[in-house]
Structure 1
Amino acid sequence: MSTNWDEQYPVSKHVIVIEHEPVMRMLLRETLEDLGYTSASFEDAVQALTYLRYVEGDCAFIIADQGMPRGMQGSEFIRMAKERWPSIPSILTSGFFVDEQVVPPSTVYLHKPYTLNQLEATIDAVLLQESVPTE
């Protein structure tokens, strides 16, 4: 059986990144660019939510750090985004332990520090998870 991977991935190649550490934001932006994505990166979830509303949920997936400044955590952002745009795939990251009950449904958790290979595999997993028909 042959799979056409081009049909499995989202049409949009734009990613929303929420990461409060400037160096991590830069590394994620560069890594995503190497993987063929463009990204909009934000230091807090409030800015990212404003942007997501502006683009009307048009993004390939979200990468959100759990430990965010200014109140809203990454998991809260993902839950809010999925309420309005349930088909947006999401990855929640953290350098600290995150209880699995905090991770929103159909969100993949990626513990920091992670390798580039782990990030790429997680992106593949979250995109494949979202493209599999559910009944």
Structure 2
Amino acid sequence: MEFGTKGLSLIGMKVLVLEDDQTLRTLMSDIIRELGADCATFDNADDALIELLEQHGSFSLAIADHGLPGSIKGMEFLSMIQQKWPDLPCIFTSGFNLDTDGLDPRTIFLFKPWALEQLIDAIGQALSR
């Protein structure tokens, strides 16, 4: 895949992607890997939380969609992990018009549908905060 990365490099980083849509999950992981990071992908918050706990939160970035199967939605997932790992940069994405006032102010909101450049910009912004 060829796209403009605006000089962004994620070499040595590990990114968690939580997205229930398989096409978007694959696209995001491909982009993240192209930028140099390892990527762990999940389609539900329960599995992502287990991985975070097992890895002691050792991720460089978390990206979570809101509309997920199960009882934990993306906004709740991010609130939970930001309480335990407040320095973990986060991107919240959704195609729904949601009230994001409850999110940590450092969280980047990325409205769907997004373009590749918007995702790359959001990653850069989240990591620079």
Same fold judged by TM-score > 0.5? yes
Larger Rg: 1
| 1:20 equivalent in structure 2 | 20
State how 1:70-85 maps to structure 2 within 5 Å.
70-85=70-85
Which letter does structure 2 place at the counterpart of 1:110? L
What percentage of aligned pairs have identical amino acids?
35
State how 1:1-135 maps to structure 2 within 5 Å.
12-129=12-129
Flag structure 1 segments of 5+ consecutive residues without an equivalent.
1-8, 130-135
CA distance in 1 between counterparts of 2:125 and 2:97 reads 21
C-alpha displacement of 1:102:
3.6
Secondary structure of the residue aligned to 1:71 is: coil
RMSD: 1.6
Instruction: Report the number of matched residues.
Output: 121
Secondary structure of the residue aligned to 1:70 is: coil
Which letter does structure 2 place at the counterpart of 1:82? Q
Residues 11, 37 of structure 2: 8 Å contact kept: no
| 1:6 equivalent in structure 2 | none
TM-score by length of 1: 0.84
Secondary structure of the residue aligned to 2:57 is: coil
Flag structure 2 segments of 5+ consecutive residues without an equivalent.
1-8
CA distance in 1 between counterparts of 2:105 and 2:66 reads 15
